[in-house]
Amino acid sequence: MTIPLLSFADEREWREHIVSDILLEVGKAEKSGRKAFHISLAGGTTPEPVYRALAEDSRIGTMSARIQVHFWVGDERVVPADSPWRNGRMIAETFGPAAATRGWVRPPVVHLWPEKDPSGACQTYAEELKAAMGRQPVFDLSILGIGADGHTAGLFTLADAMNADAPLAFSTVAPSEPSERMTLSAGVLRQSRRIMVVARGAGKKPILDAVLLGKHAYPISFVLGGNSVIYFME
Ligand code: 6PG
């Protein structure tokens, strides 16, 4: 299966394409009468400018009157909630009540991983997911990053990504600090209605090419599918 890779040399164009694509998905859901739109967000650094542009976009702010947007955190680091390493801190600062989303008719709901022991946090987050979306949660959209080793979310090994019996949320170990992580499963991410990979920098191009060639399996290989698109900023 071919996964489209759209390359950009201009950051504004890259950002605007991704935001427009997200808005298209929200618009489709709204027009089909859906009342909620659930987005799982990647952590790391690449997506931040995209998230800021989305938060500040008046079009989604208007659509929020008719469809409640929910932001979830696809994976988290086991660090204090106020740590600069915490994905939820960046996401809450971008989409939280004090942020640019003040202009939304209905501010988004931001679902953060609880700050407790990893096992308890994973269980609580999974319960929150099921309470919001039912026992088989299906995200409307998952935004994913990719590491130079082919990891995505908190899925760092093939075992992390291939475990068909994995719970919705579980602990993993990253090869770089902070090493203790928590992640949504490859399965729940894979069954998203749409997946957008947001990648940036020449260092990421070899792994993107390798994943698309499919000659070797990487953790992200077990998540992407016909629902996926890659937005690459050179
Ligand atoms: C995390 C992420 C992780 C990230 C990649 C790429 O918590 O670190 O969710 O999967 O998306 O490591 O990170 P950068 O965008 O910072 O390169």
Q: Tell me, what's the pLDDT at 215?
A: 86
pLDDT per position as a tens digit, 49-77 = 999 999 999 999 999 999 999 999 999 99
Q: What integer is the mean pLDDT of 217-232? A: 97
pLDDT per position as a tens digit, 136-186 = 999 999 999 999 999 999 999 999 999 999 999 999 999 999 999 999 999
* Ligand 1, CB cutoff 6 Å, lining residues: 42-46, 75, 87, 145, 147, 151-153
Mutate to test the pocket of ligand 1, among 11, 40, 152 (most ligand atoms within 8 A of CB): 152
User: Which residue owns the Cα nearest ligand 1 atom 8?
Assistant: 44
Closest CA to 125 of 85, 186, 80, 169: 169
Is the pLDDT reported for residue 1 higher than 70? Answer: no
CA–centroid distance, 87 to ligand 1, in Å, is 9
With vertex at residue 39, the alpha carbon angle to CA 71 and CA 115, rounded to the nearest 5 degrees, is: 40
Torsion angle in degrees (nearest 10) through CA of 70, 133, 195, 49: 10
Q: How far is CA 79 from CA 13, 76, 82, 86, 118, in A?
A: 34, 8, 8, 6, 10
